[in-house]
Amino acid sequence: MSSRIIRQGSVLRHSALAIALAVGLGGTGVVLAQSTTGNIFGTAQPGDTVQITGNTGFNREIPVDASGRFQISNVPVGTYQVDLKRNGAVVDSRKNVSLTVGKGSDVSFAAAATAASAQSLDSVTVTANSLPPVDVSTVDSRTVITSEQLAKLPLARTAESIALLAPGAIGGSGYFKGPTGNNLVSIGGGSVTENAYYINGFNTTDPLSGFGGITLPYGAIDQQEILAGGYGAAYGRSAGGVISQVGKRGTNEWHFGAQVLWEPNGAASAPGNDHYKVDSSNHSVGDLYNYNQRDKQTRTVESAYVGGPLIKDKLYIFLAAEQERTEGTLVKSQDSPTYQSTSYRNPKYYAKLDWNINDSNILEVTGASNKQNYDASQYRFNYGTLQRGAYIGKDTSGNPLNKTGADLYTAKFTSYITDDLTLTALYGKMKGTYYSDTPSSTNPHIIGPSNQNPDLNGGSPITNDNPSTAAYTPQHKSTNTNLRVDLSYHIGDHTITAGIDNQNIRDKDDGQFTTGPGYAWEYGQVVEGAPIQGSPGSSDFVGPPGPGGYYVDKYKYNTTASVRTTQRAQYIEDSWQVDDRWLVKIGLRNDQFTNYDTTGSAYLRLRSPQWAPRLGATWDVNGDSSLKIYANAGRYYLALPASVALRSAGKSLYTREYFTYTGIDSLGQPTGLTPIQSATGGPISANSEYGIQRDPNTAASRSLKSEYQDEFILGFDKTLGDKWVYGAKATVRKLRNAIDDTGASDIIRQTLVNQGVDPATIGPIQGSYLFNPGRASQFLVPNTNGGYYTANVTNADFGFPHLKRDYYGLEMYLEHPFDGKWYGKVDYVYSKSYGNSEGQVRSDIGQKDVSATVDWDFPQLMQYSGGELANSRRHVLKAYGSYQLADEWMVSGNLSVSSGAPKSCLGYFGADESDPVGYQDSYHYCYGQPSPPGSMGHTPWLYLFDLSAEYRPVWADKKLAFNITVFNVFNSRETLQIYPSAGNTGGVESNYKATLYSSTPRYARFGITYDF
């Protein structure tokens, strides 16, 4: 038997590309990024037939064509038996054929048995040959992690932790969290909002802002696919990467299992404290900034699953549930000195029903749910005595929300209309819930108490029982519907696939409002005698404060609104086998995006053709799958999420009214108020957000185009002997167009005057327009006659630099595929991401306003803005794998070594440290000197090593397992992100250079698992 399999493997490798491409790509399974299926293909004698049967009831029979090839596309992921039939009798078989999502499995038959000898096959197990480790049938950049690997590798139980195994993926800023509190990732230099998430083919990306998406219970993941580029025209709306999960399904045998995981606080190292790094009027270098040693938590995870046939070969069910509970304590920094007793509950559920209607039609129904319940009691904390004080109340800040999550329901229908024609249709709905308690206190929150005049507060900041500036609307909900229809047709050397991809998103009662009496008090300090912001005559001018530069402002904020978006796409793609060694993929996608404001009016109509071409090719150099060279190029459009409308097209209120003060009462409120001169004589809104509904015609530039990125990849994969694979890949990504907002209304007004418009006829100009940074724009401005003027503002008029975000990456890897004993992979990426725009958000300052960042608001903010971007990590080395030490023992490890993130220093503007547009220390100057991003060096290198050991005793028939995992074995605790705002020479910001986020100290996880 062994010699026969070896001989067959040798024969098939000489035509591997012809098989893999000509017949293996005959459908969407191999070419689609977020597929939930794979392909089975191969060669046999012309005139024979091939029957595929699976443990999920899948059963199809197809003929071998005149060229000796056969294929079955869109086969659900699972394990199959492939039988070769001649004259109705089975003459050869391949068992245990496993499919990997989005790829093909080669099952070829050479020197097939005769019908007379077929009976002997019942007593022989023939394991199917798969393609050699070099997969010549794909041109994209994907990493697939299977459930078998997930059960072995030491990983945190999130989709993002799995995604970090992929080359080019790094951890995102600690400021940003997913729907249920999970940390996010940046892929290929993109911002954390530019990734797309999928469950069983349904887009589960956060529909409001793009921060992550809902995912499966860890034990329900069959395979997770991470794409870092190069995927086909069937999918879009992502410029970073794709995180796609395929859930498990029932089979013809009943299986059930349960697991308990425990991360006790006693097995964790104590975190180190953070200290001030600069001298200021309130603190000195070395003073305690954040008392972390009281930060403790214990986590318990309980999960269970069951799956099997309701009707054998016909109807199957799989159910899984997971409950994560975390109890802990947390001390916040001196910016908000509180002690919290926290509790998290994170339940996840998954259900899948598979109905094999007949041999040609399959219906799949999926339900999934992610929820987070957060509760925290807050107490005052005295940094002088390091003791907990009086009870304040519940944490209602909305960071995180008290209750959040989503429920998903989808149905997918697959019809194998003919052997060459396949139809798939998917429809689903995801309902999101976002709830946060509102503070019971009627007192105004105190912002920036460290900026209080120390002569008036006794030398210690005074606050009150209101812990939050703003609260989220408790009634907030969302709905996301997704319809996909795909039709695939195989003819000759071509596989042509076409379809639609439509989404509708409704965001109801979204936004925030100021807590307490509807306003907060914000303390500040500027250079004595200097204006607080702007200059005389500007629309945002605020005059100088009193002695010492101290002032206070009454802060009001409200963005509550209900909005919606529609996203449509059509595509067509041809996978063309040019010859036995070459495959070319040519695709074209057209996206349309429409965003509606709270009145139902469209304020963005990006409906004109937005062509996104995709071109890929792969070359089997030697014709035996030992060396593959591949390349692809593509354009990827990114839609604007729903939340953009809250401030750019709603009736948002965002004002400050400025005063000097002569005293501070026991609640931290200023007394003895005297108004400071301002351009309006009262409240000032830097973006003209005065609570009036925006005219949808003035929300965005009339020449606005969608955000998109171009990508180019060139790489190779090569076998090294018969046990190793190595390769390299170069990636170039260029952000060609972005969308952000600008508040340069004075420049827009001056442009109209330069065009010859009478200034007296110009109406109010909005303080924030959506536009394409670095490009000329056309803005509608109301006139006093009831119409509009069109201001044609060039980039030179604005004084902005041209938009730039370039990512360059070079990956090299070495992999040892699993051989029954061990598996290992080492991956190194050198990359650099630089420019003047990170993307839709700002990691360095934690700005979550998608496409409404500080960038591009005014030209002064973009001076010296070009540099190394926040998601750049020049060197990243990853190594992971598992080793079967003995029959009952397995060990596994996961190593990550990465260079640090670029550091920045933000301060007041120019050599004189002024504040021309009211953004305080948000300019790219550091104490009067130009300070581009990354010019202050980098955070330290980060070394993380996780180790796991599992004991699966034979006396329990290996159904019972005991596991221990140690994360961050060497207890590497390094700063991941610093506070970048430096203040000015007259009022140094105390927090400058202080550690905001650092690596998690060493901790251990203990587990017991039972599978039957």
pLDDT, tens only, 487-515: 999 898 899 999 999 999 999 999 899 99
Least confident of 132-141, 318-327, 639-648: 132-141
DSSP 186-240: EETT--GGG-EEEETTEE-B-TTT---B----GGGEEEEEEE-S---TT--S-SS
Per-residue pLDDT at 12 exceeds 50:
no
808 close to 732: Cβ distance less than 8 angstroms: yes
pLDDT on residue 539: 79
pLDDT of 33? 43
DSSP string, 227-242: E-S---TT--S-SS-E
**Contact, 770 vs 648, CB < 8 A?**
yes
What pLDDT sits at residue 691? 87
- Is the pLDDT assigned to residue 121 strictly greater than 50? no
CA atoms within 13 A on the CB side of 297: 23
Residue 609: asked if its preceding bond is cis (omega within 30°), the reply is no
Is 871 in contact with 190 (CB distance < 8 Å)?
A: yes
Q: What is the pLDDT of residues 480-492, one digit of tens each?
A: 999 999 999 989 8
pLDDT for residue 112 is more than 70? no
Q: What is the pLDDT of residue 34?
A: 55
State the pLDDT at residue 815. 95
pLDDT the model gives residue 111: 53
Total residues belonging to the chain? 1012
State residue 133's pLDDT score.
Answer: 64
Q: What does the pLDDT read at residue 186?
A: 97
pLDDT tens figures, 909-947: 999 999 998 898 999 999 999 999 999 999 999 999 999
Taking a C-beta distance cutoff of 8 angstroms, is the pair 317, 352 a contact? yes
Rounded to an integer, what distance in angstroms lies between the CA atom of residue 965 and that of residue 968? Answer: 10
Q: Which two tokens stand for residue 318?
A: 């799989």
Residue-level pLDDT at 21: 35
Q: Residue 838: phi, psi to the nearest 5? A: -70, -30
The share of the chain scoring above pLDDT 70, in percent, equals 94
Other C-beta atoms within 10 Å of 723: how many? 11
Residue of 837, 773, 434, 840 whose CA lies nearest to 639: 840
**How large is the average pLDDT for residues 128-146?**
73
In which residue are the tokens 């695709």 written?
587
pLDDT of residue 24: 37
Of residues 60 and 217, more confidently modeled: 217
Strand partners, 379: 339, 391
Pick the more confident residue, 42 or 621: 621
Share of the chain above pLDDT 90, in %: 72
Task: Supply the pLDDT for residue 13.
Answer: 35
Distance set, CA 853 to CA 565, 695, 780, 838, 847 (Å): 20, 21, 22, 10, 7
Q: Enumerate residues 6+ apart whose C-beta is below 8 A from 365.
A: 352, 353, 355, 409, 410, 411, 412
| pLDDT given for residue 54 in this prediction | 84
Full-model pTM? 0.90
Q: Give the position of tokens 């420019």.
A: 835
Ranges 107-116, 353-362, 874-883: which has the least confidence: 107-116
Predicted local confidence at residue 27, as pLDDT: 34
Is the separation of the CB atoms in 838 and 201 below 8 Å?
A: no
* The pLDDT value given to residue 405: 94
Each residue's pLDDT tens digit, 675-714: 999 999 999 987 778 888 889 999 999 999 999 999 999 9
| pLDDT classification of 138: cutoffs 50, 70, 90 | confident
What mean pLDDT value characterizes the chain?
90
pLDDT score recorded for residue 308: 96
Q: What is the pLDDT of residue 137?
A: 77
Q: 503 — phi, psi (to 5°)?
A: -135, 140
